[in-house]
Homo-oligomer: A and B are copies of this chain.
Amino acid sequence: MNIPEHEHRHHPTVQTHLQQVQDLLQKQALVESMTQRHEAGHDERHELLGKMLHKRHLAELRELLDELHSADIAYILESLPIEQRLMLWEMVKADRDGDILIEVSDSVRESLIASMNREELRAATEQLDTDEIADLAPDLPQNVMRDVFKSLSIEEREQLREAMSYSEDSVGALMDFNMVHVREDVTLEVVSRYLRRFDELPDHTDQVFVVDREDCFKGVLPINMIVVNEPEIEVGKLMLTDTIQLHPDDKAEQAAHSFERYDLVSAPVVAEDGKLVGRVTVNVVLDFIRAESETDLLKLAGLREEEDIFASVWKSAQNRWTWLALNLATAFFASRVIGSFEDTIAKFVALATLMPIVAGIAGNSANQTTTIIIRSLALGQITHDNARRLMMKELTISGLNGLVWGGIAGLFAYFLYHNVALGLVMTSAMLLNLIVGALVGLFIPLAMHKLGRDPAIGASVMITAITDSGGFFIFLGLAAIFLIH
């Protein structure tokens, strides 16, 4: 056997590369500080040694960078604190700048672009396809965009305008223009000869698109069919016509579902008038799904956007403030609800110790309901027919939860304060607030969905606001009626 047994077992991962880069950057920083310290004492020998070491580290670093995939360099840049990041960015060969800018996250991209001048930015975009330039466009200064536009051919300008015209969450935004198209009246032989004129087919070319003279989409011909069929067959005889077609204005999320369901590698994008305008490939869909799922998680924690972990404190704080401000406002409101029962609490302090239980459990239960509803909405599973059924089910569950957990909480209250009425008030308040929770957990996402808004983002803060204030009101209200004489 030629390959040593464990060679590819220990294929270095990108984490290893990150560590290597960090070590080299640190050694270099050390050398620099050494050189500076000795400059004061004019020790020339030390200075020279420092410079030599410095050079060696730089050379090592450059070599490592040359070997790495652009996506890996992007990952390393994201994982480095800002000074080290910019130091490394300086060392990346200019002809890879464009690819890497496409790969890094939005917030890191901002920090990289801020460090580049007009000429560097123009050079970076020169290496990119028009659909990639469109992705970068919102982050580029206006004068750079003007330069870029001037340098493009008429066809490319048209593509760039087209790519920039679609909203961020549409199929048009995922689309690229690297399609291979053929006519239906030619043979596989001719297609093969045509393909051989390419040095390399565009990435993710699993099929070529069949169009007519007017560029109208007729069907697709999978590359694998070209390979397994005899060369004299005509394209029209083999091409598939009932495959998925996307439309530039479709929601990107819908296209993602199509890729998942039908296991696609690429899909044609066809305009209203039947013309083939572009294609979407699975790698873009993969990135889209990952980005969506991360956004969902960030939104749930009330983070406005993905955060560069090395962003300044000030910038990070801003990312988090809208949410905290909103929560503070609802907390103030809940506090005033309690405030209106101050007399009741003064007469029976035990109420103050028990009220957070009523609010908390209902909040958790309501969030479970909302999560189920949001997921079903995202999958399009909630139809007119089954919405009622779902509501009944959620209300029944929260009723059951109210009896079970309300019962336990009631016993807890009774054993602590030896007061039967208190136990009963506790249980009833839990039951009622859990039902309130189920109702808001159901209606808030359904209403937001109807209004065409994203139910994931605001639902949880509203739900907590209602189950908190509602819980305090129900519990203290019942206590005021039944406990205080």
> Which of A's residues lie within 8 Å of B, judged by CB?
1-3, 5-6, 8-9, 11, 13-15, 18-19, 22, 26, 69, 71-72, 75, 78-81, 192, 195-196, 198-201, 203-206, 214, 216, 223-224, 226-230, 245, 247, 254, 259-265, 270, 272-274, 282-283, 285-287, 289-290, 292-294, 296-298, 300-303, 307, 309-310, 313, 316-317, 320, 323-325, 327-328, 331-332, 334-336, 338-339, 342, 345-346, 349-357, 359-361, 364-365, 367-368, 370-372, 375-376, 379-381, 383, 385-386, 389-390, 393, 396-397, 400-401, 405, 408-409, 412, 416, 468, 472
Copies assembled: 2
Q: Which residues of B contact A353 (CB under 8 A)?
A: 335-336, 338-339, 342
Report the separation of the CA atoms of residues A298 and B5 in the bound assembly, to the nearest whole angstrom.
42
CB-CB under 8 A from A206, the residues of chain B are: 206, 265
* Residue numbers in B under 8 Å from A8 (CB-CB): 245, 247, 270, 274
A293 touches B289 (CB 8 A): yes
Which residues in B have their C-beta under 8 angstroms from that of A201? 224, 227-228
CA distance A298 to B376 in the complex (A): 12
Partner of A361, one of B282, B324, B380, B416: B324
B359 touches A297 (CB 8 A): no
Q: How far is the CA of A226 from the CA of B334 in the complex (A)?
A: 69
Would you call A274 and B357 a contact (CB within 8 A)?
no
The 8 Å CB contact of A282, one of B81, B265, B316, is B265
- List 28 A-B pairs, Cβ < 8 Å: A11-B245, A13-B254, A14-B380, A69-B261, A71-B262, A75-B379, A78-B379, A79-B383, A81-B389, A196-B228, A199-B228, A200-B228, A204-B265, A223-B223, A259-B286, A260-B286, A282-B283, A293-B297, A303-B371, A313-B397, A317-B400, A320-B397, A323-B364, A324-B361, A324-B365, A331-B357, A345-B349, A345-B352
Give the chain B neighbours of A335 by CB distance below 8 A: 353-354, 356-357, 412
Interface residue SS majority, chain A: helix
For A371, the closest partner residue in chain B by CB is B301
- Nearest B residue to A351 by beta-carbon distance? B352
B293 touches A296 (CB 8 A): yes
Report Cα–Cα, A400/B324, bound state, in Å.
Answer: 12
Chain B residues whose C-beta falls within 8 Å of the C-beta of A5 in the assembled complex: 272-274
In the assembled complex, the CB of A218 is this many whole angstroms from the nearest CB of chain B, namely: 8
Partner of A368, one of B301, B383, B386: B301
Closest to A319 in B: B368
User: Closest approach, in angstroms, between the C-beta of A171 and any C-beta of chain B?
Assistant: 13
- Cβ-defined contact, B224 with A224, below 8 A: no
Flag if A302 contacts B364 (CB, 8 Å): yes
Beyond A201-B227, A350-B342, whether A389 also contacts B310 by CB under 8 A is yes
Cα distance A262–B302 in the bound complex, in angstroms: 31
Contacts of A379 in B (CB 8 A): 75, 78-79
Known interface pairs A274-B3, A307-B372; A297-B296 also in contact (CB < 8 Å): yes
A400 to B261, CA, bound (A): 47
In Å, the complex CA distance between A261 and B75 comes to 9
Q: Are B368 and A302 in contact (CB under 8 A)?
A: yes
Known contacts A79-B381, A371-B301: A195-B313 contact under CB 8 Å: no
A410 to B12, CA, bound (A): 54
User: Sorted from nearest, which 3 A-B pairs have the closest CB atoms?
Assistant: A293-B293, A352-B352, A71-B261
Q: Considering only CB atoms, which chain B residue lies closest to A360 in the complex?
A: B331
Q: Contact between B286 and A196 (Cβ–Cβ < 8 Å)?
A: no
Give Cα A278 to B223, complex, Å.
22
Measured between beta carbons, the chain B residues less than 8 angstroms from A287 are: 260
Contacts of A370 in B (CB 8 A): 301
